[in-house]
Structure 1
Amino acid sequence: MDKPLVGIVMGSDSDLPVMRGAADILDELGVPWEIIISSAHRAPEKTADYARRAAGRGLVAIIAGAGGAAHLAGVIAGHTALPVIGVPIASGALNGVDALYATVQMPSGIPVATVAINGAKNAGILAAQIVGTGSPEVREKIIAYKEKMARQVGEKSARLQELGIDEYLKTKGGSKA
Structure 2
Amino acid sequence: MSTTFVAILMGSDSDLPVMQATIDILKKFDISYEVKVRSAHRTPDAAKAYVKDAEERGCKVFICAAGLAAHLAGAVAGMTTRPVIGVPVDNGPLQGHDALLSTVMMPGGIPVATVAIGKAGAKNAGYLAAQILGVENQDIADKVKAERAANAEALLAKDEAMQKTLA
Which TM-score applies when normalising by structure 2?
0.94
Match of 2:108 in 1: 108
Which residue is equivalent to 1:15?
A: 15
Question: Which aligned segments of 4 or more residues in structure 1 are displaced greater than 6 angstroms?
Answer: none
8 Å contact kept, 1:51–1:77: no
Gaps of 5+ in 1: 166-177
Q: Which residue of 2 aligns with 1:130?
A: 132
CA distance in 1, matches of 2:166, 2:160: 10
Q: Which amino acid aligns with 2:129?
A: A
Q: CA deviation at 1:68?
A: 0.3
CA RMSD of aligned residues (A): 1.5
Give unpaired runs (5+ residues) of structure 2: none
Count of matched residue positions in the alignment of Structure 1 and Structure 2:
164
Q: Does 1:5 align with 2:5?
A: yes
The offset of 1:4, in angstroms, is 5.0
Paired residue secondary structure (1:60): strand
SS of structure 2 residue aligned to 1:155: helix
Matching residue of 2:43: 43
CA deviation vs aligned residue, 1:35-70 (integer Å, no higher than 9, x gap):
111111111111111122222110100100000000
Aligned to 1:69, what secondary structure does the other structure show?
coil
Question: For residue 69 of structure 1, what is the aligned residue in structure 2?
Answer: 69
Give aligned-pair identity as a percent.
48
State the structure with more CA Rg: 1
Counterpart CA distance in 2 for 1:162 and 1:106 is 49
Q: CA deviation at 1:23?
A: 0.7
In structure 1, how many angstroms separate the alpha carbons of the residues matched to 2:127 and 2:96? 21
Q: SS where residue 59 of structure 2 aligns?
A: coil
CA distance in 2, matches of 1:123, 1:27: 13
- State the distance in 2 between where 1:152 and 1:135 align: 26
Separation in structure 1 between the aligned mates of residue 85 and residue 79 of structure 2, nearest angstrom: 14
Which deviates further from its counterpart, 88-97 or 154-163?
154-163
Query: 1:85, 1:113 within 8 Å by CA — same for their partners in 2?
Result: yes
